[in-house]
Structure 1
Amino acid sequence: MASCIARSAVAAALLALAACSSVVGQQPGAYPATIPQEPALPPPESGAVYRPTTSIALFEDNKARRVGDTITVRLAERTQASKSASTDASKESKTDTGSPTLLGGPVTSNGKEILSNSWETDQEFTGQGSSSQSNRLDGNITVTVAEVLPNGNLLVRGEKWLTLNQGEEYVQISGIVRPADIAVDNSIPSYKVADARITYSGNGLVPDANRPGLITRFFMKFWPL
């Protein structure tokens, strides 16, 4: 009876770990579009020619400048990093102790000094390590202005989700844009977005296949020692 209970407990634990091995992906809506809160317009006076709702800015371009305006971010990210290290250390030690004398002469046995000692120690360490990483991200994503900062800079954020036959892929970005860096076509390269937070990932079969499970990550952390 006790063995059956133990086997059932082990099976339940393995099922729980297997359920936790797949990472729950992020869901849409983390960076929702910002909808501007426009103040209520006063009712037009009877017979007036000018209507605020039909006004046209004759001396403004189409660049984003207000909360809720859209701006296209051209993703052009290139990163490459490499690092190598090499360490060599060695230490040697040698100690000799002469034979002490007793009653004016060395202590011997069968004509050999028996109290003299000599020992040596030798330590050596050699280690090498290297790492290399490169990333590239291209594409376009249109985001909205979430806030206009006191100095005139724009806080932008947005996301793009693509539903594919084997899962979903998404791009999320947030950061601060200087209006002077916005091009005439209302776009800006990603390397000009200050304090940028760019995420490119996905959910589904293919991303999960490239992600180790919980049990694998647990043993990789502690083994090999």
Structure 2
Amino acid sequence: MKTKHKILIFTLAASLLGGCAQTPPKPDNPYFAPVPPAAMSAPKPVDGAIFHAGHSVSLYEDGNARRVGDILTIVLTERTQASKSSETELEKNSDVSITAPTILGSPLTINGNEASFSLPGGTRTFESTGDADQSNSLSGDITVTVSDVLPNGVLRVRGEKWMTLTSGDEYIRISGLVRPQDIKPDNTLDSVKLADARITYSGTGEVHDTNKMGWFTRFFYSPLWPF
């Protein structure tokens, strides 16, 4: 019976791990979907005047993104590098000895031997070293849309790009806040100037799956495995 219980527990644990596997992402996520611009008013009849009511484009306004639904190109220039080194060395020595006590000026003896003793010395040593080095880079372009304009003029942008390859898909998702003055004249923005940025680069398919542990292997690296 105990063996059957172990097999049942093992099967349930493996099933739970298999069920916890994340569902692969799919295109057209509503959070990254483009926001359509507000409906424009019908053009007024031409009456010979230079300015017309209902035209939202200023005489001195450029073509950069500034309204909901406008398009902006984000230039990905992400590069991070981190390194850490630590070294620890501890050493402790101990030595205990007790001399023979005296009674009326004479040392205490046991069977003719002075009642003194000492403990053997002890030494403890601990040494530890650790090094970590990590670097990441991401380059490319992704065009997003303005989803909201905050009261202070900051633009909230979002978007995604999917590329279908031979053995799977690769995608980039990005969202964040943009200051209009940081947008370049060609309507592009470096990703390092994107506030509250959320950038995801990953993929789906066979190549991506080969870099992940299977549910059975994950069981032996999970807290459920007691050994």
Q: Please, what TM-score do these two structures have when normalized by structure 1? A: 0.80
Of residues 199-208 and 143-152 in structure 1, the stretch that sits farther from structure 2 once superposed is 199-208
Of residues 125-134 and 57-66 in structure 1, the stretch that sits farther from structure 2 once superposed is 57-66
Identity %, equivalent residues: 43
Q: Name the structure 1 match of 2:80.
A: 79
**Any idea what the Cα deviations from partners look like across 1:87-126, whole Å, max 9, x if unmatched?**
11111122111123457343233x4335423342322211
User: Which residue, 29, 42, 46 being the options, matches 1:49?
Assistant: 46
> Which residues in structure 2 correspond to 1:6-25 (within 5 Å)?
9=8, 12-13=11-12, 16=15, 19-20=18-19, 22-25=21-24
Q: 1:117 to 1:5 in 2, by over 3 A?
A: closer
Q: Name the structure 2 match of 1:106.
A: 108
State whether structure 2 residue 127 is matched by structure 1 residue 126: yes
Contact 2:107 2:114 in 1 (8 A): no
> Which residues in structure 2 correspond to 1:24-39 (within 5 Å)?
24-28=23-27, 29=29, 30-38=31-39
Task: State the Cα distance separating 1:52 from its structure 2 match.
Answer: 7.4
SS of the counterpart of 1:34?
coil
Q: 1:70 to 1:202 in 2, by over 3 A?
A: same
- CA–CA separation in structure 2 for the residues paired with 1:166 and 1:218: 27
Q: 1:136 to 1:224 in 2, by over 3 A?
A: farther
Contact 1:70 1:144 in 2 (8 A): yes
Task: State the Cα distance separating 1:80 from its structure 2 match.
Answer: 0.8
- CA–CA separation in structure 2 for the residues paired with 1:43 and 1:75: 38
Task: State the Cα distance separating 1:191 from its structure 2 match.
Answer: 1.1
Contact 1:100 1:116 in 2 (8 A): no
**Any idea what the Cα deviations from partners look like across 1:113-153, whole Å, max 9, x if unmatched?**
35423342322211111111111111110000011111111
Contact 1:17 1:214 in 2 (8 A): no
Q: 1:56 to 1:93 in 2, by over 3 A?
A: closer
Contact 2:14 2:219 in 1 (8 A): no
SS of the counterpart of 1:180?
helix
Specify every segment of 5 or more residues in structure 2 that has no aligned partner in the other structure, as ranges: none
How many pairs are equivalent?
219
- CA–CA separation in structure 1 for the residues paired with 2:196 and 2:10: 48
Contact 1:175 1:195 in 2 (8 A): yes
What is the RMSD of the two structures over their aligned residues, measured on CA atoms?
3.3
Q: 1:78 to 1:156 in 2, by over 3 A?
A: same
**Any idea what the Cα deviations from partners look like across 1:166-190, whole Å, max 9, x if unmatched?**
2221101111111111112111111
Output the amino acid matched with 2:93.
Answer: E
Output the amino acid matched with 2:46.
Answer: V
Q: 1:85 to 1:108 in 2, by over 3 A?
A: same
**Any idea what the Cα deviations from partners look like across 1:1-33, whole Å, max 9, x if unmatched?**
x69966974785476257347542222214111
Q: Name the structure 2 match of 1:138.
A: 139
Q: 1:8 to 1:78 in 2, by over 3 A?
A: closer
Output the amino acid matched with 2:23.
Answer: V
- CA–CA separation in structure 2 for the residues paired with 1:178 and 1:89: 52
